[in-house]
Structure 1
Amino acid sequence: MSARELVVLGTASQAPARDRNHNGYFLRWDTEGLLFDPGEGTQRQLLFAGVPASAITRLCVTHFHGDHCLGVPGIVQRLSLDAVAHPVAAHYPASGAEYFARLRRASVFHERATLAEAPVTGEGTIATGGFGELRARRLDHPVESFGYQLTEPDGRRMLPDRLARFGVHGPDVGRLQREGGLRVGDRTVTLAEVSAPRPGQRFAFVMDTRLCDGAFALAEGADLLVIESTFLSADAGLAAEYGHLTAAQAGRIAAESGVRRLVLTHFSQRYTEPEEFRADAAREFGGDIVVAADLMRVSVPRRRGR
């Protein structure tokens, strides 16, 4: 099992289909587990996917249309039912605080888990930690909506041949990483001499929106971009009217932002051939395209330069 992967829980848009649950996306990122936009039925989809409630460390809601949030009550109550011991942060547009309160208290239950609400009041960094930095950017939808970007800091990759050449081994490798330099014999070996830059990985989550600066900013340099592609280009007029993207527009965002792996999702029930979305996106993006399906697992690409 990959330490960094996306588990797709649902791929429908406004109405679910027989083979598509409402939205739901779980990102496993080392010891963190971020659950994005849990729509109706997400609790059951987690069961099918083999993801326990205890794996969730953050809940991220982009906006308060039902297909992106009606699964919140079940998730909140499951955290308590399973007595999840760690606090779970909840991020959502602050303008929708009334809706989140209703969802959180939708029915009677014995609350044992700790849900730490952290409403998003504007663009910028909303959380930091060992996982890196979680940022939010505004999107263009009929209701206030934010997309999310998870960024790992840049680091350095140790080079075994260089370590051997300079006689650095065992616990001294860790010391050198922590201190930036190490005395070996009659000279000081620097970290730069035995390592190479290691770009941090980046994940982006862009849901309901028209083309806008925020979508491009979130996608910039993403190793993995999960993005709505509700419509095909033939229905671009409907997409603009309802505040959504076509698959080709999602492909354009990926191409212009240097995305490595593009995951298309949030498909309108009017379409029956998933591969049409791949073809539409490929008109703009020549890279790796994944047409999401329920319960699919998508790995975060290996680090650049490896």
Structure 2
Amino acid sequence: MSSRELVVLGTSSAVPTRHRNHNGYLLRWDGQGFLFDPGEGTQRQMTYAGVSANDVHWICVTHFHGDHCLGVPGIVQRIARDKVRHRVRAVFPASGGTYWDRLRHATAFADTDVISEHPVSGEVAEVAPIVARRLSHPVESYGYRVQEPPGRRMLPEKLAAHGIRGPEVGELQRNGSVRGVTLAECSVPKPGQSVAFVMDTRLCDAVFELASGADLLVIESTFLSPEASLAKEYGHLTAEQAGQVAAQSGVRRLVLTHFSERYGFDDEPAFTEEVRRHFDGEVVLARDLMRIPVPKRRHAPSLHRPRSQDTQQPAK
């Protein structure tokens, strides 16, 4: 199993359907679990996906419309009931603090003290490793980006040419030089991996900033282009706009989700067609219980291998 993957728990928008649950996305990231927008029914979807409360380390709410947060009470109470011991950080718009409090304490239960609250405000906020940017929606909404710090990739041929081996390699990485040889002479920059999560919003600068160079972009595509005026009125994106964002931002793998209940599986080719007007990279139309890996790290051109088109698999 990939140590960095997206487990899709729900893909509908305002109204769940027979085949799509309300929103819910768990990003597995090096032993951490980032649960984005747990809508109604998320706790049950987690069971279907083989995900437990102990897999949740972050609860990230983009905004306080019900399809993005009505699952919070069940998740909180499950964390308490299962006696999760590790810290769980909750990130949400500060302006919705009243709604968070109502959801957090929605019913009587034996509470837990492992949840710490991190409300965000302003145009840009950071709760490392998460960066939040304010989007354009009728209520205050934030997009999130999980970003790994950049590093450096060691070049074996350069190390060998300088006679650096064994413990000296670690010394070079820690100190930046060894025996007069610098780290820059034996390595190249390695960008950190990133996942961007963009829910309810109109097109705005923040969408492109969140998506810039993302390895995986999870983005709403509530409507198709014939409903573009409706999308703008209610603060949403079309599939074509999602394709524009992915193309202009250099996204590696695009995941469409948050589909209006007016569309069924038979409409999926139309979503793909709209994206393809602008974006020729990898596209996944999310369905409940999919597992979607974060693309492997970028390598030098000589090391590239053809990418598999089978980028998703059912959750077990």
Which of 202, 216, 222 aligns to 1:224? It is 216
1:235 corresponds to 2:227: yes
1:55 matched residue in structure 2: 55
2:255 corresponds to which residue? 263
| TM-score (normalised: structure 1) | 0.94
| Contact 2:124/2:134 (8 A) holds in 1 | no
Q: Which range moved further: 218-227 or 161-170?
A: 161-170
Q: 3-state SS of the aligned residue for 2:159?
A: helix
Residue in 1 aligned with 2:146?
Answer: 150
Q: Which digits, 9 at most, give the CA deviation of each residue in 1:151-182, with x for residues without a partner?
A: 22211011223323333333332221111112
Matching of residues 116-155 of structure 1 within 5 Å = 116-128=116-128, 133-155=129-151
Provide the residue aligned with 2:69 in structure 1. Answer: 69
User: Which of 202, 208, 214 lines up with 2:206 in the alignment?
Assistant: 214
Instruction: Please name the residue that 1:190 is paired with.
Output: 182
**2:213 partner SS:** coil
Distance 1:5 1:200 in 2: 15
- In structure 2, C-alpha distance between the alignment counterparts of 1:199 and 1:104, rounded to whole Å: 37
Counterpart position of 1:281: 275
User: 2: distance between equivalents of 1:121 and 1:238?
Assistant: 28
1:19-75 Cα offsets, whole Å, 9 max, x none, are 111000111111221110000111111121122211211111000010000000011
User: Is the deviation greater in 189-198 or in 100-109?
Assistant: 189-198
d(CA) in 1 for partners of 2:169, 2:56: 33
Partners in 1 of 2:167 and 2:113 — Cα distance?
40
Supply the distance in 2 between the matched residues of 1:123 and 1:304 (Cα, whole angstroms).
30
Whether the aligned pair in 2 keeps the contact of 1:226 and 1:262 (CA below 8 Å) is yes
Aligned residues: percent identity? 63
Counterpart position of 2:288: 294
Question: Shift in Å at residue 281 of structure 1?
Answer: 1.3
Q: 3-state DSSP class of the match of 1:92?
A: strand
- Work out the CA distance in 1 between the residues paired with 2:257 and 2:216: 13
Output the CA distance in 2 between the equivalents of 1:208 and 1:117. Answer: 22
**1:172-211 deviation per Cα after TM superposition (whole angstroms, max 9, x unaligned):** 322211111123xxxx332122211111112111100111
Q: Distance in 2 between matches of 1:39 and 1:261?
A: 24
Counting only pairs closer than 5 Å after superposition, residues 149-168 of structure 1 correspond to structure 2 as: 149-168=145-164
Mapped contact 1:123–1:135 kept (Cα < 8 A)? no
Q: Give unmatched runs, 5+ long, in structure 2.
A: 301-316
1:78 maps onto 2:78 in alignment? yes
Superposed CA offset, 1:88-137 (max 9, x none): 11011111101000000011111234110000112324212xxxx31111
Distance in 1 (CA, whole Å) between partners of 2:62 and 2:296 is 27
- Given residue 190 of structure 1, which amino acid in structure 2 is its aligned partner? T
- 2:297 equivalent to 1:303: yes
Equivalent-residue separation in structure 2 for 1:32 and 1:124 (angstroms): 23
Residue number in structure 1 paired with 2:313: none
Does residue 38 (structure 1) correspond to residue 38 (structure 2)? The answer is: yes
Does the Cα contact within 8 Å between 1:83 and 1:113 map onto a contact in 2? no
* 1:268 counterpart letter in structure 2: S
Q: 2:90 — aligned with what?
A: 90
Whole-angstrom distance in 1 between the partners of 2:10 and 2:85: 27
Query: 1:235 Cα shift?
Result: 1.2
Which whole-Å CA distance do the structure 1 matches of 2:47 and 2:14 have between them? 23
CA contact (8 A) 2:118 2:127 kept: no
Q: 1:127 is matched by which residue type in structure 2?
A: V
